[in-house]
């Protein structure tokens, strides 16, 4: 689940956006972003072990901070990951249509919306079906990326990577561009946190969650850097960024330049399956978030309704699918990725504060990791373009207004359980992920 949540839109789509900003320095941005994301993921691992329940950052905010910050974390997670899923849907559509020879924004959006509908139906069938699909997707994705790297190494032996340039740019704002690139790549590693969203469904979470998150980050960083070196060295940053803007399929352009139809076709299959896996795990994770928010009556109670087996909040799944479909209609991967980046940085800050509140007796990792993650998240957030900042703050404000109004209108129905920020409900989500 961790690998399926991470290896997707970040490497197949958004890396092209960053290449247009920082050129070959994209490789350095991947390294820095991976290290900072590792700190954030370790914070989440500590929280997930200490408080292994479905709901992730939402529940951590409630337990270790206060109800308002808990709700804000959950609300930001909902918005940010919806943007990630929308980017993945558009990326899926871009690679599929590019391989079939179709172009046009309307066609791109239509294919993406179709993917959202199909994945929502798959997740609504239950987590067992989702797990099988996810396992197949991860294997296919990794094989396709490894084949691209191997083909790139053969290309290097015969042509060299003359398009790579690691000299410091003459531009006076290269530091700001690099910082923004780190921020945009930071979210590419953040899917590992989704492991904690199904904490109640994981056997032996104290052992399994930290190991899974660490393994995910290490494998992802090695994969990302290898693909970036091959891609930028083969066609150069300018062509890489242009392919992202025109078709949302930059790695397909790299595979075509390598002159191997087998690699190009395999990469297309890997990209398509990877985008679908991001969609699948996002719908899965966000539905559990809505379940947790419904338990505390920060969201309508009908979102906590389970299927007959007591294993799947099917109405929450359908709600998440609708939200993603609405954002897909924007049809612009740059817009959706910028919003997902802001959401990731906001969440990282809240998660870091919560991790710093953990008792020393329960702490798995040094406290400086929490401080480093907190300050880096705040600094990187200020590197995002200001108009995205304003819209993001406005959406957070709408969420807080929603919570205030919703709880006042339903004050007579709110239970003592939902008022206790340190107690977690035990709705019968069973351990179906064994």
Burial class (CB in 10 A: 0-12, 13-18, 19+), 142: middle
Q: How many helices (H) and strands (E) does the chain have?
A: 17, 0
Q: What's the confidence (pLDDT) of residue 353?
A: 92
C-beta separation of 18 from 26 below 8 A: yes
The token duo for 226 is 């290898």
Residue 430 has pLDDT above 50, yes or no: no
Average pLDDT over the chain, rounded to an integer: 81
Residue 275 has pLDDT above 70, yes or no: yes
The token duo for 49 is 């072990």
C-beta separation of 47 from 354 below 8 A: yes
- Hunting for tokens 């997740």 — which residue is that? 123
- Domain that residue 38 falls in: 2-419
DSSP string of 290-306, one letter each residue? HHHHHHTTSS-GGGG--
CATH of the domain at 16: 1.20.1740.10
Can you tell me the distance from the alpha carbon of 319 to that of 315, in angstroms, rounded to the nearest whole number? 6
Can you tell me the distance from the alpha carbon of 287 to that of 433, in angstroms, rounded to the nearest whole number? 16
Chain segment 280-291, per-residue pLDDT in tens: 878 888 888 888
Can you tell me the distance from the alpha carbon of 414 to that of 310, in angstroms, rounded to the nearest whole number? 23
* 426 within domain boundaries: no
Q: What's the confidence (pLDDT) of residue 117?
A: 93
Residue 432 has pLDDT above 60, yes or no: no
Q: What's the confidence (pLDDT) of residue 147?
A: 92
Q: What's the confidence (pLDDT) of residue 421?
A: 40
- Hunting for tokens 């799947």 — which residue is that? 312
Q: What's the confidence (pLDDT) of residue 145?
A: 92
- Hunting for tokens 């972003």 — which residue is that? 33
The SS3 assignment for 313 reads coil
* 50 within domain boundaries: yes
Q: What's the confidence (pLDDT) of residue 149?
A: 92
Percent above pLDDT 90 for the chain: 12
Instruction: Give the mean model confidence (pLDDT) for residues 22-42.
Output: 88
C-beta separation of 24 from 237 below 8 A: yes
Chain segment 292-341, per-residue pLDDT in tens: 888 888 888 888 888 777 777 889 999 999 999 999 988 778 788 888 88
- Number of structural domains in the chain: 1
Q: What's the confidence (pLDDT) of residue 428?
A: 39
Among 365, 384, 278, which Cα is nearest to 328's? 278
The 10 Å CB-count burial string (b at 16+, else e) for 318-332 is: bbbbebbbebbebbb
* 425 within domain boundaries: no
CB atoms within 10 A of CB 297: 20
Element (H, E) at 16: helix 15-22
Q: What's the confidence (pLDDT) of residue 423?
A: 45
Beta-bridge partner residues of 54: 198
The token duo for 181 is 């690139």
Residue 434 has pLDDT above 50, yes or no: no
* 368 within domain boundaries: yes
Q: What's the confidence (pLDDT) of residue 250?
A: 85
- Hunting for tokens 């206790």 — which residue is that? 420
Residue 265 φ/ψ, nearest 5 degrees: -70, -40
CB atoms within 10 A of CB 21: 18
Can you tell me the distance from the alpha carbon of 120 to that of 305, in angstroms, rounded to the nearest whole number? 16
Can you tell me the distance from the alpha carbon of 73 to that of 56, in angstroms, rounded to the nearest whole number? 9
The SS3 assignment for 54 reads strand
Chain segment 190-211, per-residue pLDDT in tens: 767 667 656 666 777 777 777 8
Task: Look at 248-257, 309-318, 359-368, 413-422 and tell me which has the smallest mean pLDDT.
Answer: 413-422
* 424 within domain boundaries: no
Q: Which residue has the higher pLDDT, 170 or 352?
A: 352
Chain segment 93-137, per-residue pLDDT in tens: 888 888 887 777 788 899 999 999 998 988 887 755 556 767 887
Can you tell me the distance from the alpha carbon of 432 to that of 434, in angstroms, rounded to the nearest whole number? 6
Chain segment 370-417, per-residue pLDDT in tens: 999 999 999 998 888 888 888 888 888 999 999 888 888 877 666 544
Burial class (CB in 10 A: 0-12, 13-18, 19+), 268: buried
* pLDDT band with cut points at 50, 70 and 90 for residue 427: very low
* 7 within domain boundaries: yes
Can you tell me the distance from the alpha carbon of 240 to that of 163, in angstroms, rounded to the nearest whole number? 11
Can you tell me the distance from the alpha carbon of 399 to that of 356, in angstroms, rounded to the nearest whole number? 25
């Amino acid at each position: 689940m961790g690998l399926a949540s991470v290896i997707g839109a970040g490497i197949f789509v958004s890396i092209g956006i960053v290449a247009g900003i920082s050129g070959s320095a994209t490789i350095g941005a991947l390294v820095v972003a991976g290290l900072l994301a590792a700190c954030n993921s370790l914070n989440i691992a500590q929280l997930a072990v200490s408080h292994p329940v479905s709901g992730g950052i939402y529940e951590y905010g409630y337990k270790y901070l206060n109800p308002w910050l808990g709700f804000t974390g959950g609300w930001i997670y909902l918005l940010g990951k919806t943007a990630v899923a929308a980017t993945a849907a558009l990326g899926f559509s871009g690679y599929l249509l590019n391989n079939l020879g179709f172009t046009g924004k309307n066609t791109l959006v239509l294919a993406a919306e179709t993917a959202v509908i199909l994945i929502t139906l798959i997740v609504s069938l239950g987590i067992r079906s989702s797990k099988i699909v996810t396992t197949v997707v991860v294997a296919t994705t990794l094989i396709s990326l490894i084949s691209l790297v191997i083909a790139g190494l053969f290309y290097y032996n015969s042509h060299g990577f003359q398009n790579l340039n690691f000299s410091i740019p003459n531009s006076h704002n290269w530091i700001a561009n690099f910082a923004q690139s780190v921020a945009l790549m930071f979210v590419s590693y953040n899917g590992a946190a989704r492991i904690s969203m199904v904490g109640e469904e994981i056997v032996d979470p104290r052992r399994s969650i930290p190991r899974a998150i660490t393994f995910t980050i290490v494998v992802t960083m090695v994969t990302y850097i290898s693909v970036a070196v091959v891609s930028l060295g083969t066609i150069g940053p300018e062509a890489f960024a242009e392919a992202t803007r025109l078709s949302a399929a930059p790695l397909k352009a790299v595979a075509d330049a390598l002159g191997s139809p087998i690699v190009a076709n395999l990469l297309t299959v890997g990209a398509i399956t990877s985008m679908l896996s991001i969609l699948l795990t996002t719908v899965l994770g966000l539905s559990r978030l809505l379940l947790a928010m419904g338990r505390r009556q920060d969201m309508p109670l009908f979102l906590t309704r389970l299927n007959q087996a007591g294993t799947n909040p099917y109405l929450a799944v359908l709600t998440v699918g609708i939200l993603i479909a609405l954002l897909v209609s924007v049809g612009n991967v740059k817009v959706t990725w910028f919003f997902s980046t802001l959401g990731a940085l906001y969440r990282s800050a809240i998660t870091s504060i919560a991790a710093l509140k953990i008792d020393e007796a329960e702490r798995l990792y040094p406290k400086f990791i929490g401080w480093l993650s907190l300050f880096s998240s705040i600094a990187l957030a200020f590197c995002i373009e200001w108009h995205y900042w304003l819209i993001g703050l406005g959406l957070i404000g709408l969420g807080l207004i929603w919570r205030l109004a919703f709880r006042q209108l339903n004050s007579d129905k709110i239970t003592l359980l939902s008022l206790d920020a340190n107690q977690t409900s035990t709705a019968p989500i069973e351990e179906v992920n064994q």
